A and B are shown apart, each in its own frame.
Chain A
Amino acid sequence: MREKLEAIRVKAEAELSAITEQSELENFRVQVLGKKGELTSLLKMMGSLSAEERPIMGQVVNETRAFVEQKIAEKQAEIKELELKKEIESTPVFDISVPANLTRGSYHPITLVQRQCESVFRTMGFNIEDYSEIVTDYECFEALNIPKDHPARDMQDTYYLENGQLLKSHTSAAQNAIYKKYKDALVNDGMPIKAIFPGRCFRNEATDACHENTFFQMEGVMVDKDISISNLIYFMKTMLSEVFQKDIKVRLRPGFFPFVEPGFELDISCLICGGEGCPSCKHSGWLELCPCGMIHPEVLKAGGIDPEEYTGFAFGLGLTRLAMMKYGVKDIRDLNSGSLKTLSQFTDDEN
């Protein structure tokens, strides 16, 4: 019996070395260790042994079994290794140098600049308000201290509707509603009114590369006790520096708008030349950017705010103009053209 066991051991070693496939290994395992396998049949013969011999032989059988199992395990590992190697070698080198499919959608450029502005103002504690495009004469003019015979109220300049309403000619048309919305919080809780309101505006004029009858502005107001011209300049400079992501110099010139007093035209140092003078600033070093001013007392009054107690500033940024400046759009009509050749380029913001 001992010899038989030894024979199994020798045979196992010899046969295993020739095996290269998983199936062969399995066959071998069954042949040796299976229910009817060689080792198992030997084990069945244990009964014929003497009581003294039995434990000794039992140990030898177990050793042989352990030996064969270990050899099978080793072989198993070897085969796995081999198969993995085969799999890896059979995998081709994939080509990822093919141009990526960059198909992507696009935002309207106004959305992009509007979002940039909004995020700047949000960080400074401004509410972002929305307002209708069709407003009343009161909202657009009367509440803004624009007298009845003011040229802006002519049909030549403003689109009036049959019911007497009009397409708002400036975002300032939302001022009155904003004041009324927040005045209680201002008066009762001391919460300053800080709001911006981007929106579409309409002017009845012939369109060309520089003129559109439909365009976007963004109005901003801040009202509190003791808001001053000094604050206005500070905020404009800070906010515009954030919007353009560089230190912007601002300068104020008197400008006349019935809803502010004093009113200003705000110039910024030219974005292209930084103030040295270049063709885009007509060699002046400055770009006229936005009208602003201290909110006219009559306008505050119309909004239910006492101008003796509160002051504020307001400004109007031309979002359309800003988008054109930022992206170098030369013809304003491109923005409303609906042309995908033009507009699909504004895939996302590069900041």
Chain B
Amino acid sequence: MFLSMNWISDFVDLTGLDKMELIRKFSLSTAEVENEIFFKGSDFSGIVVAEIKSVEDHPKSEKLHLLKVDIGEAELVDVVCGAPNVRVGMKTAFAKVGAKIGEIEIAPRPLAGFMSNGMCCSEKEIGISDDNSGIMDITDDVVNGTDLKDIYEIDDIVFEVDNKSLTNRPDLWGHYGIAREFASLAGRELKPLPQVDLSQYNNLPKVDLKIEDDLCQRYSCLQVENITKNVSPVNMRIRLYYCGMRGINLLADLTNYLMLEMGQPMHAFDSRKVEKIRIKCFAEPFTFQTLDGVDRNIDENTLMICNDNTPVAIAGIMGGLDSEIVEDTTTLTLESATFNAASIRKSTVRLGHRTDASNRYEKCLDPEMTVPAIARFVNLLVSIDPDAKVVSALTDEYAYKYPKVTLDFDKAFIDKYTGIEIANDTIVNTLNSLGFKASNDGDNFTVEVPSWRATKDVTIKADIVEEITRIYGYDNFDIHTAAAPLYPVRAKAEKTVEDRIKDILVHRYSLHELHSYVWQYYDEYKALGMDIEENIKLQGATNPNIETIRKSIIPTQLCQVKTNTNFSTDFGVFEIGRTVDGLKSDGLCNERKKLCVTLYSKTKSLESLYVELATMLSVISDNIKHKALNFTPMEATLSYEHPRNLNAISCDGVVLGKIGVVHPTVAKKIDKKASIVFAEIDVPMLTEVADAGIHYEEPSKFPNMEIDLSFMSETFAPIGKAIKDANCELIKNVQVVDTYRDENGKSITVRLTFSNPQKTLTTEEVMEVANGIIEALAKENIALKS
């Protein structure tokens, strides 16, 4: 919203004060002011009123005219002018010789063979409107040669406030409310708003009005006729233009002006079209043409202003084309109303159409404002067009009022909240300067909240703290630390696990951490031949791409791998992210935090990459939990899982996740030549595994003994099991030192390291253990290699 310092100054005398400093204070105490501040009128000087005394056609040009203009000097001035609207007797804006417009200084210059000693200006050229159709037509009775800036409010400081910073302040959607803030910040009085006394019309007939839906809070209206003027005063048009609107005609300009001044949207109907004003919703949807000529779909929740049963306006949003003021309108009905804020907002969302009026209504406007707005409107109207005549009594239906808000608090409360000392007088004066009615009896305060702050904005004591402190100024706060006692902070187990996983994968394995989205990207999954897993969906999702929440990070990560195949011949990525594994019994999502790792290689075999990944996970488990992982083959069920190479990962008998080779169909779509493997682990479940910790054992003084055993086996698992089952305390380490495949099959050589802390080991006792293992494996048909 653009704000004019001239307009603000109508209501508070700011003479002698640094306006820029006031704007800065306003930004820090009330609402954020955008950086760019506009110094209107500062870019030109020397523009005066000139009267055209004669107009001659240019002998060689169709467009140009030769003028003699009176600029209040002894001699008339010769000017060549190309504007189509020149006429004798017309007064216009004239840049005389020596005048400056932007960087240009006006000097006498020949134009198509004739000297031109100055320039007639359009309104656009002097920046007071966007009208460039001809030179400015000054209809006011002004003396020739007067500097334009002396008669019109061209010089102004205009600043912009971000609408978002006004969402909770319905009172700041007009200049009067803004002026109240400036008055408080400047320590000056706020002047009353000029109004007419509406009670003088009480004897006139009332408008036929009835609120039939409680979405309308208050509806005030008044009928006026005999408006003879069509064009608004220049100053009014300048203000509207500076504040981002355009002059249209007197009536439209007045309603806009009122809205920008008081924040109260108003609407003028042709009275013939609103003989019986009814405010209601319709049970059946229909289309309605608004005054911008657009047909809009109205549903049963949209509040309408009607003439009996004929809708004439969408309440609070926009009038209808049919009820607009037209050429032959004689009587008009002024609407000044308040509607349910949430309903207006929802209607704008449904209609996909927001207006300056709806923007304000959404903020919970003060219903007390509807009548003063009419009184101010009439005051402005008759000052501009004295012939205008009020022809009805004020008609006002006030369906319901907001409760009066009165708050009591004591000094201790303010002290506790602020942490600084603010004097009792300062508290009372600050609140009163903002229109609150504050008083105190010693340290006890009572505050009555003004209606324009009581619609939802100020309801509790903490709100009062804000009023006091923002005007006091946060820059003026003495700041200090809290007196709170200190307690040790324990790291959360899961957080520690997460951090350590990341450190291991990044530092030890040079993996890259990625982030991704929580939904299953339909298009990307399809491109890789992966199915969308059935899971909870977003409500009313319109984009199937992000419709279904993911069950696993693996497919997401495979999509990411696909986009990185040019990055390097070998890389690995991981993410600790969230998935949803259906719903829990209470109907809430079973959200899981998962670690997902994918390795990609163009140089390694699938098997070695798969083993590498299993090793990584084992290292994580060993580092964090000092425990080994078990890998058990499991059945593939998902489109990206390899039917033969998928293992469940478990620790302490709890399944933590899975590790697998990517299904060749999917793998080929990612990269025809690369090996790709994945694993996913549930982080909270890993966290819950008890840490076996470090078990210190005094090193044996006696030498270790190692024996190598080679078995004919496809997998290590049974060998490992046999060794474990031997349950021999002397075995300190088991290592696979070689695997070999020949025509007889695959052999695995394990090295067992024995150690006894008490005495020197004998070959006999070691061999006894080894033989036990060999026998156990023989029963499983796993033979010692011959």
CB distance from A133 to the nearest CB of B (A): 5
* Residue A154 at the chain B interface, CB threshold 8 Å: yes
Interface membership of chain B positions 154-189, coded 1 if the CB is closer than 8 angstroms to chain A and 0 otherwise: 000000000001011100000000000000000000
Decide: A230 near B477, CB < 8 A? Known: A104-B506, A254-B466, A256-B168. yes
Residues of B within 8 A of A115 (CB): 499
Interface membership of chain A positions 193-216, coded 1 if the CB is closer than 8 angstroms to chain B and 0 otherwise: 010000010100000000001100
CB distance from A143 to the nearest CB of B (A): 16
* Residue A151 at the chain B interface, CB threshold 8 Å: yes
Q: Which of B1-58 contact A (CB under 8 A)?
A: 27-32, 35
B539 touching A128 by the CB < 8 A rule? no
Decide: A229 near B489, CB < 8 A? Known: A103-B510, A338-B564. no
A234 touching B588 by the CB < 8 A rule? no
Decide: A284 near B514, CB < 8 A? Known: A230-B418, A251-B475. no
A161 touching B589 by the CB < 8 A rule? yes
| Range of interface residues on A (Cβ < 8 Å) | 35 or more
Stretch at the interface among B130-138, B478-486, B648-656: B478-486
* Residue B784 at the chain A interface, CB threshold 8 Å: no
- Scoring A194, A229, A235, A336 by chain B CB atoms within 10 A of each residue's CB, the highest score goes to A229
CB distance from A223 to the nearest CB of B (A): 9
* Residue B60 at the chain A interface, CB threshold 8 Å: no
Residues of B within 8 A of A222 (CB): 482, 484
B563 touching A228 by the CB < 8 A rule? no
* Residue B538 at the chain A interface, CB threshold 8 Å: yes
CB distance from A209 to the nearest CB of B (A): 17
A297 touching B578 by the CB < 8 A rule? no
Q: Which of A9-52 contact B (CB under 8 A)?
A: none
A129 to B492, CA, bound (A): 8
B515 touching A110 by the CB < 8 A rule? yes
B482 touching A111 by the CB < 8 A rule? no
* Residue B580 at the chain A interface, CB threshold 8 Å: yes
CB distance from B114 to the nearest CB of A (A): 46
CB distance from B536 to the nearest CB of A (A): 5
Decide: A128 near B491, CB < 8 A? Known: A311-B417, A340-B567. yes
Q: A230 contacts which of B420, B462, B514 (Cβ < 8 Å)?
A: B420
* Residue A341 at the chain B interface, CB threshold 8 Å: yes
Residues of B within 8 A of A136 (CB): 588
Q: A284 contacts which of B35, B499, B505 (Cβ < 8 Å)?
A: B35
Using CB atoms, name the residue of chain B closest to A112: B513
B589 touching A106 by the CB < 8 A rule? no
Decide: A122 near B417, CB < 8 A? Known: A132-B591, A224-B484, A231-B482. no
- Scoring A111, A262, A311 by chain B CB atoms within 10 A of each residue's CB, the highest score goes to A262
| Range of interface residues on B (Cβ < 8 Å) | 35 or more
B165 touching A228 by the CB < 8 A rule? no
Interface membership of chain B positions 504-539, coded 1 if the CB is closer than 8 angstroms to chain A and 0 otherwise: 011101111111111000000000000000001111
A151 touching B538 by the CB < 8 A rule? no
B482 touching A338 by the CB < 8 A rule? no
Decide: A163 near B589, CB < 8 A? Known: A128-B495, A251-B475. yes
Q: A262 contacts which of B346, B466, B479 (Cβ < 8 Å)?
A: B466
Residues of A within 8 A of B483 (CB): 226
* Residue A167 at the chain B interface, CB threshold 8 Å: yes
* Residue A7 at the chain B interface, CB threshold 8 Å: no
Residues of B within 8 A of A227 (CB): 482, 484
Q: Which of B71-121 contact A (CB under 8 A)?
A: none
Using CB atoms, name the residue of chain B closest to A108: B513
A256 touching B482 by the CB < 8 A rule? no
CB distance from A273 to the nearest CB of B (A): 14
A192 touching B485 by the CB < 8 A rule? yes
Q: B538 contacts which of A127, A160, A284, A344 (Cβ < 8 Å)?
A: A160
A335 to B514, CA, bound (A): 8
CB distance from B528 to the nearest CB of A (A): 14
Residues of B within 8 A of A107 (CB): 502, 506, 513
* Residue A183 at the chain B interface, CB threshold 8 Å: no
* Residue A53 at the chain B interface, CB threshold 8 Å: no
Decide: A231 near B480, CB < 8 A? Known: A340-B567, A343-B512, A344-B512. yes
A264 to B32, CA, bound (A): 11
* Residue A296 at the chain B interface, CB threshold 8 Å: yes
Using CB atoms, name the residue of chain B closest to A191: B487
Residues of A within 8 A of B575 (CB): 108
Residues of A within 8 A of B512 (CB): 105-106, 340, 343-344
B470 touching A254 by the CB < 8 A rule? yes
Decide: A253 near B28, CB < 8 A? Known: A336-B516, A341-B567. yes
Residues of B within 8 A of A341 (CB): 564, 567
A40 to B493, CA, bound (A): 78
A282 to B162, CA, bound (A): 15
B417 touching A191 by the CB < 8 A rule? no
Residues of A within 8 A of B482 (CB): 192, 222, 224, 226-228, 231, 234-235
Interface membership of chain A positions 321-351, coded 1 if the CB is closer than 8 angstroms to chain B and 0 otherwise: 0000000000000011011110110001000
A253 to B559, CA, bound (A): 44
Using CB atoms, name the residue of chain B closest to A192: B484
* Residue B549 at the chain A interface, CB threshold 8 Å: yes
Using CB atoms, name the residue of chain A closest to B587: A163
A340 to B572, CA, bound (A): 10
A167 to B462, CA, bound (A): 30
A134 to B417, CA, bound (A): 34
Residues of B within 8 A of A154 (CB): 349
B27 touching A149 by the CB < 8 A rule? no
CB distance from A160 to the nearest CB of B (A): 4
Q: Which of B585-636 contact A (CB under 8 A)?
A: 587-589, 591
Decide: A283 near B35, CB < 8 A? Known: A134-B580, A261-B460, A340-B573. yes
| A-B pairs with beta carbons under 8 Å apart, 8 shown | A105-B513, A161-B538, A163-B588, A192-B484, A234-B481, A254-B466, A338-B516, A338-B559
The 10 closest A-B pairs by CB, nearest first: A228-B419, A230-B419, A262-B466, A149-B342, A338-B560, A105-B506, A256-B168, A252-B474, A192-B484, A160-B539
